Structure 1
């Protein structure tokens, strides 16, 4: 009986080692030279809002598990303060903040769910939360590794998907398009 209990104990401990063998974690720092820009248009002009990465001073922990060609992430959330976007002038910054309902929802959350390496591309599954509404997107990304990791990509987004009202100016003469483009060029350093 003691041998059986001993054997069960060894098998149990080996099974935990086997499961945790593929679980990994790391910490990354987003370098301040990184870029995240939101590009939009109106019926008469264009605008650009850039995120200030100097405001992200805390490293981001990543917990992940590899399975085949996919990497699954747990709690890999990038928190962006709406107030850290600069659109070029106080008036546009104020309109952008109002559009995002910043008084009620001051943060944008980007939660990385998984990455899948395909033949010619890599796809990231990201859940984005804006103004309290979450949507999931598959985003083609390019990952370059040298001293740091460079992750680049873009996403076309309809702001009405987040129940955001398209702003109008000058009694409706200037109308912002509901479609925006998000470009990112993230420089990630492993800590």
Structure 2
């Protein structure tokens, strides 16, 4: 996947300058005759450094690898999933290029866990998938899932989580 050119990044209709920016991510160049939705992921980036105002030239801006994976598990694996993936999670978080590695349980599907992870750059992502703990996890994950995991894997501007402008504590 790749980010489309900066000129393709636009503010949401009617939004003020402090609101979210829609970034279109394509797995291939857009077909002007096809509906863009199946091939596009909209990343809502609220209160981030606006892409057109980021410091430095496009080549100097920091981009991280951002990955979200949905694992739908067999019932016998879901009850203690976080315990089962603890060694994998701990080892991944210790990688020098890991920014975050966080598991959540779906509120809609009782046997689904969502992994949200980020890596400093492509080199860090490559080191992760070539690590012993990744290979070990991938050796038994197929036994735990009831269908292929769903994944979003993109490069996005930034170096970590950013604060959302639309919600401020009172």
What's the TM-score, normalizing by structure 2? 0.28
Larger relative contact order, structure 1 or 2 (CA cutoff 8 Å, min sep 6): 2
Q: Return the index of the structure with the highest Cα Rg.
A: 1
The structure with more helix, counted as a fraction of residues = 2
What's the TM-score, normalizing by structure 1? 0.26
